[in-house]
Amino acid sequence: QIIHIEAPATVANMVCGFDILGFAVKAPYDEMNIRFRDEPGILIVNEDEYNLPTDPEKNVAGAALLAMMQELDPATGFELRIRKHIKPGSGVGSSAASSAGAVVAANRLLGNRFSREDLVRFAMNGEKVASGVKHADNIAPCIYGGITLIRSIHPLDIITITPPPLHVTIVHPQIEVRTADARSILKKQVQLKDAIRQWGNIGGLVAGLLKQDYELISRSLEDVLIEPVRSILIPGFDEVKRRSKAAGALGGGISGSGPSVFMLSKDEPTAQLVAEEMKAIYRSLGLDHHVYMTTI
Ligand code: HSE
């Protein structure tokens, strides 16, 4: 038996929700095939051009599977074939798609023995390999779909939010921003007045999504804690935001730890205008980039 799955790209942080709010998009997605093998252990075969490690301890999908295998018969063996379409390091949850995809696929092969929470727990080990930190704001939406709020990681408490229609335009400027670096520059302490503004926005955003109130969503898409620090790593960031909003976008920000930047729009024509603005900005900066449009 071979199980085939598609693991979607995800946008972590969702502007004000650093480490706690993320969403899955319809495309791009990675493809994976998994089957049992006769010998114990994990065999990883990469079927793409990215030359990612095949040693299960160094491969994020392998690390996630190893965590799962600690709760399985030691004689279990998997052969995992990975075809990535989500570019590693682009900031749209490439490592999460690998880790989450691997354990979701293995779980199907095992007759759904584990809960979705278990799968998030296993997959976070992949994120640890990728960035040194176990965060779930890419993993959870990748496994649950839609928008997820990670109220707590210890213990895991994941809430799914079904949003109104939202179109997503993402620009990936071809520069490298490592998640570990983008985390190390963050301030460890915040001002109370900034914290108040941030949790006002998070509450507003969640309420706006549940009430399908685009105005409230738009007003709440503001990050006063992380974005001011991280955005300096991304050329053109302020202009992308300003011109996208002028074109009608509801708002947006850094996708995960960057370098991709995403904007949300109510309808497709607006998302298309946003895409044109993004392309114009990076063309004028002379920076290679890739723009894609999708939905939540
Ligand atoms: N929440 C994580 C961070 C996401 O911003 O560091 C990384 O993709």
Q: What is the pLDDT of residues 122-167, one digit of tens each?
A: 999 998 888 888 889 999 999 999 999 999 999 999 999 999 999 9
CA 141 to CA 30: how far, in whole Å? 15
pTM of the model as a whole: 0.95
The residue ranges of DSSP E strands in the chain, in sequence order, are 3-12, 21-36, 41-46, 77-83, 147-152, 157-161, 167-173, 251-254, 261-265, 289-295
Phi (first) and psi of residue 92, to 5 degrees = -120, 40
Q: Is the CB of 19 under 6 A from ligand 1?
A: yes
Over residues 234-259, mean pLDDT: 97
pLDDT at 112: 97
User: Minimal CA–CA distance to 137: which of 31, 27, 15, 228?
Assistant: 15
DSSP secondary structure code for residue 86 in this structure: S
Using the structure block, give the residue that is written with the tokens 């497709």: 268
Span 82-109, average pLDDT: 96
Taking Cα atoms as reference points, which of 21, 255, 14 lies closest to residue 151?
21
- Inform me whether the pLDDT recorded for 180 exceeds 90: no
**Residue 291: pLDDT over 90:** yes
Residue closest to 135 by CA, chosen among 171, 87, 182, 197? 182
pLDDT of 133 reads 82
Nearest Cα to Cα of residue 12 among 87, 101, 93: 93
Is the CB of residue 95 below 6 angstroms from any atom belonging to ligand 1?
A: no
Question: Please, what is the average pLDDT of the chain?
Answer: 96
**Quick check: 255 pLDDT over 90?**
yes
Task: Confirm if 96 and 126 have CB atoms less than 8 A apart.
Answer: yes
Phi, psi of 200 (to 5 degrees): -60, -45
ipTM of the complex: 0.97
Residue 178: predicted pLDDT: 87
Q: For 96-134, how does the pLDDT look when each residue is reduced to its tens digit (9 = 90+)?
A: 999 999 999 999 999 999 999 999 999 999 988 888 888
Q: Which atom of ligand 1 is nearest to the CA of 18?
A: 1
pLDDT digits (tens, 9 = 90+) for 199-219: 999 999 999 999 999 999 999
**Is the CB–ligand 1 distance for residue 99 below 6 Å?**
no
Helices H, strands E: what count in the chain? 10, 10
pLDDT of residue 19: 95
Active-site residue numbers?
127, 179
- pLDDT score, position 25: 98
Averaged pLDDT, 275-296: 97
Query: Is any atom of ligand 1 closer than 6 Å to the C-beta of 220?
Result: no
Q: Which residues, at least 6 apart from 76, have a Cβ–Cβ distance to it below 8 Å?
A: 36, 40, 69
- Atom 6, ligand 1: residue with shortest CA distance: 257
- Whether 179 has a pLDDT exceeding 90, the answer reads no
Q: How many CB atoms within 10 Å of residue 224?
A: 17
Q: What is the pLDDT of residues 4-60, one digit of tens each?
A: 999 999 999 999 999 999 999 999 999 999 999 999 999 999 999 999 999 999 999
CA-atom Rg of the chain in angstroms:
19
For a ligand 1 pocket test, name from 86, 98, 129, 135 the mutation site with the most ligand atoms within 8 angstroms of its C-beta: 135
Distance 95 CA to ligand 1 centre (A): 11
Instruction: Report CA(245)–ligand 1 centroid distance (Å).
Output: 24
Residue 257 CB–ligand 1 contact under 6 Å = yes
